[in-house]
Amino acid sequence: MYPARALAFLTAALVTGCGAAPPPPAPTPVPATSAAPDPIPAPKAEAPKPEDKPVAELPTHCSESKNAKVCLPDQAFVERLCSGSWPDIALVLFRKESPWTRAYVVRPVNAWNAMGGAMSTSAKLPADEELIVLKHRSNPGGMVVSGASGGYDALRWDGTCVSLSGDEVTLRRPGLPRHAAIPWRKLAEKTQTSLLSDKGIKQSFDRRRKDCQGDATGPGPSPCERAESALSSGIVSYVRSGGAVPQPADLP
């Protein structure tokens, strides 16, 4: 009997020592972390603007226009042209063979350059002064009309721009169009040399140089003023009749 009790005791001890293994420890919890914010997209770089380079050459053909009655230069060129005073360019654009539409002042008017530029104050234009139409401004409603409506930005013979209403100009040529005074001193040397090759202009220039040496005295136009006017008229007549004018080196 003793051996049987001993065996039972041993069996119980083995059962106690060989019980089920304890469960594995719970995994250490990972501390919660806040979600990373979405990255802020970098601002897109603006596309570089084209450089404000001068035009390569003067326009020679009509630009597209809603008004088929007028032949206008390229409007980007017009914006540059009317930002300053360009007497050399005016002589080229007023040449006899140029396609640009001419306009004529119907009565004396005070005008200014609504596009900005060299003429910051008003200028008095006489009746029948010849202009080149640069831009046709329609009525506020957008309807393009002629006559007493709309308006024009135009080029004078002296290289400045003016803005006129539709009832201040006509496209009908008068018998003898007038012109703005040509600023001889502002013309490039290349242009002056070319013009002086004409005999009539050379004579007017020599008379001007002689009459403008002294001070003006007496009432009315001085001899110098009359000589200046004669030189301007000679240049305009020469260009209108087809006289050659060199391409300017400086362009807007």
Asked if 94 and 199 sit in the same domain, the reply is no
Whether residue 10 has pLDDT greater than 50: no
Number of domains in the chain: 2
- pLDDT tens, position by position, 138-160: 765 544 444 446 789 999 999 99
Amino acid 245: pLDDT: 97
Asked if 63 and 135 sit in the same domain, the reply is yes
Q: What is the mean pLDDT of the chain?
A: 81
Identify the domain boundary among 180, 202, 221.
Answer: 180
- pLDDT tens, position by position, 30-71: 555 545 555 555 555 554 444 456 667 899 999 977 667 899
Look at residue 238 and tell me if it is in a domain.
yes
Query: For residue 162, what are the domain limits?
Result: 54-180
DSSP string, the chain: -HHHHHHHHHHHHHHHHT-PPPPPPPPPPPPP-PPPPPPPPPPPPPPPPPP-PPPSS---SPPP-S-TT-----HHHHHHHTTS--HHHHHHHTSTT--PPEEEESS-EEEB-TT-SS--S-EEEPTTBEEEEEEEE--TTS----SSSSEEEEE-TTS-EEEEEGGGEESS--SS-B-PPP-GGGS-HHHHHHHTTSHHHHHHHHHHHHHTSS---SSSS-HHHHHHHHHHHHHHHHHHTT---PPPS---
Identify the domain boundary among 180, 201, 224.
Answer: 180
Amino acid 52: pLDDT: 58
Whether residue 6 has pLDDT greater than 50: no
Asked if 130 and 236 sit in the same domain, the reply is no
Asked if 129 and 211 sit in the same domain, the reply is no
- pLDDT tens, position by position, 202-218: 999 999 999 998 766 65
Identify the domain boundary among 159, 180, 201.
Answer: 180
Look at residue 17 and tell me if it is in a domain.
no
Look at residue 48 and tell me if it is in a domain.
no
